[in-house]
Structure 1
Amino acid sequence: MSEKTDIIIRTEKLSKTFTNGRLETPVLFDIDLEIRRGEFVAIMGPSGCGKSTLMHILGLMLRPTSGTIRLDGRNTAELNESQRAGLRREKIGFIFQRFNLLPNLTARQNIAIAERIRGNRLDGQIMESLAAVDMAEKAHQKPGTLSIGQQQRVAIARAIAHRPAVIMADEPTGNLDSANADKILELFRRINQQQGISLIMITHSLTAAQKADRIICMADGRIEYV
């Protein structure tokens, strides 16, 4: 059952334990979290604190061991894997530290193939997404002819082309120098404000985190403060 509120993501008592034979490794403990529609949130913490695992659960790429997560009002515990995949494709865009662009395809084709995998043919929106990240003039260039910062912009355009409700960005400035990192963070803020997309960013950088509306700090699998 879907329940529309101003909360796009809500978790209650979310926990995750990885199991390898008899070995159990708990990584998240009783995470209670709310992300509002149109909010820009940074999640910070040291390596191994569980922030990337949390992002994968929020992005419906992992199931929690216990607890619940609601995405756009839907209790994802009630969904089978096919339904979870459909909801993920519809509602979420992902941006990773590694841009994952196919080298033999142009910027436009990299976005188009991702949309075809989703079952969409969004030719107009593809060019709109490239224009939104100031890359329309580079639409027919391949990744090898683009700078690192430009490649990241194409990856962002790919994430927003289907107009998701949420973007999840895992260390999106980790491979960039400070000048390009600043430009990407400014772009995130612009997309967040102009398109009303909620943005969840995993980062080690306090400078990057300070661009967000709210900073969530994690340690040892728990939220320390918000």
Structure 2
Amino acid sequence: MSKDILNMQNVTKSFQDGMSKRVILAKLNLTVGEGEFVAVVGPSGTGKSTFLSIAGGLLSPDSGTVMIHDKNISSESQKHLTEIRRREIGFIFQSHQLLPFLTVREQLGIVANMNDKATSKEIDELLEDLGLTECQKRYSAQLSGGEKQRTAIARAFMNHPSLILADEPTASLDAERGYQVVEMIRKEVKKYQKAGIIVTHDERVLNLVDKIYDLKAGQLVERK
């Protein structure tokens, strides 16, 4: 039986909207175990990015708990949260967020150096796995959209995080490349028994995940 990596219980989050308060998440619950890859879907404005930010410790819930392994990150200090994100969570952002003054290889190297976790050989293997060997000395301005996204994925995988969170990773890619990107995430989750969550509105990739959740009225409803 797999162990839980992410456990969100009764998570609530609201924002002030003029004179009223808008509830984005309402006692939301989700558990993702080792080797499990899930998708969260829903139209724009339903709170998918807010959900992912809370799952990854970038945003604090108003109430409820967010557990990564046996640690309640919703009650951690900012210093400890930063350390947890660095070692336990791999983020894949829609906008890539690559550093323009670093080459592909340097993008990975700087993450590895922050954690003292990866060797040059491991970087070589990751570049090869993601088809980036030939462009490892290029800067982000010299990369195609697909190469930028694969670099962002490689950076997220660099330190073998327990939890991979991907926010609309196929948004800037065509159908074929988008599917390949999600396949890469699935492969990493299954091979190393990580937990993976993809937030998407791309129905074409949903056959790659183990479970699909619709975000409705602030709660996650599993599709049967």
What's the TM-score once normalised by structure 1's chain length? 0.90
- Map 1:206-217 to 2 at 5 A: 206-217=203-214
Equivalent residue, structure 1, for 2:13: 16
Counterpart mapping for 1:60-71 below 5 A: 60-71=57-68
Give the match for residue 223 of structure 1. Answer: 220
Return 208-217 or 191-200, whichever deviates more: 191-200
Q: How many aligned positions are there?
A: 221
CA offset digits 1:178-222 (Å, max 9, x no partner): 121122122222222222222100000111222111101112212
2 CA distance for matches of 1:41 and 1:190?
13
Q: Among the aligned pairs, what percent are the same residue?
A: 33
Cα distance between partner residues in 2 of 1:50 and 1:113: 32
- Residues 190 and 119 of structure 1: CA distance in aligned 2, closer, same or farther (over 3 Å): closer
Q: 1:121 Cα deviation (Å)? A: 6.5
The equivalent of 2:116 in structure 1 is 120
Distance in 1 (alpha carbons) for counterparts of 2:73 and 2:140: 36
Does 1:135 find its partner at 2:113?
A: no
Q: Does structure 2 retain, via aligned residues, the 8 Å contact 1:50–1:220?
A: no
Normalising by structure 2, report the TM-score.
0.91
CA distance in 2, matches of 1:189, 1:77: 27
In the alignment, structure 1 segments of 5+ residues that lack a partner are: none
Q: Unpaired runs of 5+ in structure 2?
A: none
**Higher alpha-carbon deviation: 195-204 or 69-78:** 69-78
User: Does the 8 Å CA contact 2:57/2:74 hold for their aligned counterparts?
Assistant: no
3-state secondary structure, aligned to 1:174: coil
- 1:22: Cα distance to partner? 5.3
**C-alpha displacement of 1:112:** 2.0
Q: What are the residue-to-residue correspondences of 1:136-215 with 2, within 5 Å?
A: 136-215=133-212
CA deviation after TM superposition for structure 1 residue 24, in Å: 2.2
Q: What are the superposed Cα offsets for residues 35-84 of structure 1, whole Å, 9 maximum, x if unpaired?
A: 11111111001111111111000000011001111111112233211111
> 1: distance between equivalents of 2:74 and 2:190?
31
Number of the residue aligned with 2:30 = 33
